Amino acid sequence: MKRRIFTTFMVLVLVLVTSLSGSTKPVSATSFQTVGSQYETVPGELIVCVEKADTMQLQTAEKTSSSLVDLLTSDVFTVKDDLFESTGINQQYYTAEEKNLKNEAVENMGYTYLVEYPEEKLSFQAASEKVSAALKEAGYQAKSIEPNYILEAIGLSDTSEYSLENVQAQAVNPSQQWQYDMIKATSAWNITTGSSNVRMAVLDTGIDNTHPSLANFVNTGLGKNYAGGADTMDRQGHGTHVAGTIASYGSVSGVMQNATLIPVKVLGDDGKGTMYGIEQGILYAASISADVINMSLGGGGYSDSFAAACNTATSGGVIIVAATGNDSTPYISYPARYDNVIAVGAVDSGRRRASFSNYGPGLDVMAPGVSVYSTSPGGRYVTMSGTSMACPHVAGVVGLLRSYDKSLTYAQVDSLLKSTAQPAGSTTEYGAGIVDVYAALQQLSGTSPITQVTAPVFSLPAGTYKGEQKVSISCTTAGATIRYTINGQEPTETSPVYTEALTISATTTVKAKAFKTGMTASQTVTAVYTIESTNPDNPSATPWQAGKAYRIGDVVSYNGKTYVCRQSHTSLVGWEPSNVPALWLLKENFTAVSQVVIK
């Protein structure tokens, strides 16, 4: 069971960001959350969940809801929204004999409302106590009373951009090849490419439904806006990138090559949304029979109502996938941490956990999340990094499984993903491993797997480095022989056998392939290493970029100045050289410090 940790701040996990977090005991059903001034909330709003009394007759649910609205409406309080009404749950008939979504919602969440109070007259605590007392006097019990927290998009890591004209249309764009090779999507497409009958709800900033690689898949008629606007168009960019990884066509490909994408806009054009709005989005997706919910968002705190919304959707047959967070911390964020939610961390092209990817108890599986290439508003294509980018890979995998068997439950999908995942490291840092959709579909379909040697892995990612480097090559298939070339040629069974680390002293293209008798040879992996001079008197400066791995001695330019890297790290938005002197040194100070730092 995923552990519950309560904090009072939630931060949107869009891309590489750093956020506040902390923990105390989870809030009880009859206690109230305390609002600290350092945490941003919607002023004067409460999320009130009212317990269904044991003596309450199920057939009187409609009357009960109406009575509660009347009760919570006074000269002090105003009911701004009835959660079950605004999400379509109330349209489902509710009886004692039939287990349906409305039944589950009432049982899990209680009757839930967004209540407004005059903040100039009442504090959050005073308002909470007043609501609780009014409910108690009328014979009701508050299940939970919580502030309506604001979730905020802090920054984007957009490392490169391409117009439609610059990308050749093909099944898999070269920039996406490593992503889909890693999760075995290209092999899985021999079994299923997806289905328009599978509904993928993207809870995000919306989707650009005019994008040439998405337009045929996006169903705006089923779309919904819970971020305070009238449409589901993405003007921020994050939701369109996520959607393109789930399902797209033409110049790029999603994990699914056929699906119905449903834009559920829970984050506004400024990248901000509320906890209540996301809860609305979850229940709405469940009410329209979505197969999968993707939530590339999250934060650091437990919420009773949020957990109940997730449980309600899961009970209704929806499978929820969420990002673990980008704080480099040994605990994953909510909503990924909730029970019945698949928690996804990020790995890079070398199959290593991304430095920013949260890890720890509750982590389920990993997927590509560094420099992921996908769609962007306005017919563009960009690369972005974050657990937000890993999450839709797994959502797409679940979509493929549901396209093969619509009856799969959360428990069955969770088991399939974990039992077929590719081992990548400790369960603490990698969960069950890197998701393998081909193996999952084979296990589901009962077909015999094609035995292929696992692709080799380089110890050093491709890139630009200062001075001579050592590169090791490994393969997880026992007894496999690794053969390599350093002249750009395809390795064959007559190529040199790898026995010890390679010394790279000049720009070199290394290709490796693994062979084993009785098995299909592995895929070829390639890494290009550019070696630059280590002469500190005339280092070659390159523009600083977010999301890039830097090593000691690397030289970059930023805002007209030249900086030298003094500690190896992967750059993040907010870690610009001028902001982090612990990582970067002005060039004029390079000689003196290099004597201490550079070995």
| 459 close to 480: Cβ distance less than 8 angstroms | no
Separation between Cα atoms, residue 252 and residue 132, nearest integer Å: 53
Separation between Cα atoms, residue 594 and residue 597, nearest integer Å: 5
Q: Residue with structure tokens 């797209």?
A: 248
Crossing angle of helices 61-72/124-137, nearest 10°?
A: 130
| 391 close to 319: Cβ distance less than 8 angstroms | no
What is the separation, in whole angstroms, between the first and last Cα of the chain?
46
Catalytic residue among 81, 204, 291, 414: 204
569 is catalytic: no
* Angle value at C-alpha 420, between 414 and 425, nearest 5 degrees: 100
- Pair type for strands 561-565 and 555-558: antiparallel
User: Is residue 62 classed as helix, strand or coil in its secondary structure?
Assistant: helix
Phi, psi angles (nearest 5°) of residue 573 = -60, 130
Q: How far is CA 494 from the centre of its chain?
A: 43
Greatest alpha-carbon pair distance for the chain in Å reads 85
Phi, psi angles (nearest 5°) of residue 283 = -70, -35
Taking only Cα atoms into account, the Rg of the chain, rounded to an integer number of angstroms, comes to: 26
Q: Per the structure block, which two tokens stand in for 33?
A: 């959350």
CA distances to 182, 398, 405, 449 from 444, rounded to whole Å, are 20, 12, 8, 11
163 is catalytic: no
Separation between Cα atoms, residue 152 and residue 159, nearest integer Å: 21
Helix (H) / strand (E) element for 430: namely: helix 427-430
DSSP 235: S
Nearest to 463 by CA among 348, 333, 302: 348
Q: Per the structure block, which two tokens stand in for 266?
A: 């829970």
Catalytic residue among 388, 403, 495, 571: 388
Phi, psi angles (nearest 5°) of residue 420 = -110, 0
Catalytic residue among 21, 65, 211, 238: 238
Q: How far is CA 422 from the centre of its chain?
A: 19
393 is catalytic: no
CA distances to 348, 361, 497 from 461, rounded to whole Å, are 9, 28, 21
Separation between Cα atoms, residue 502 and residue 483, nearest integer Å: 12
Separation between Cα atoms, residue 264 and residue 318, nearest integer Å: 15
| 433 close to 424: Cβ distance less than 8 angstroms | yes
Q: How far is CA 514 from the centre of its chain?
A: 32
Helix (H) / strand (E) element for 245: namely: helix 238-246
Crossing angle of helices 387-404/238-246, nearest 10°?
A: 40
Complete DSSP assignment for 519-556: SBPPPPEEEEEEEE---TTS---EE--TT-EE-TT-EE
Active site residues: 204, 238, 388
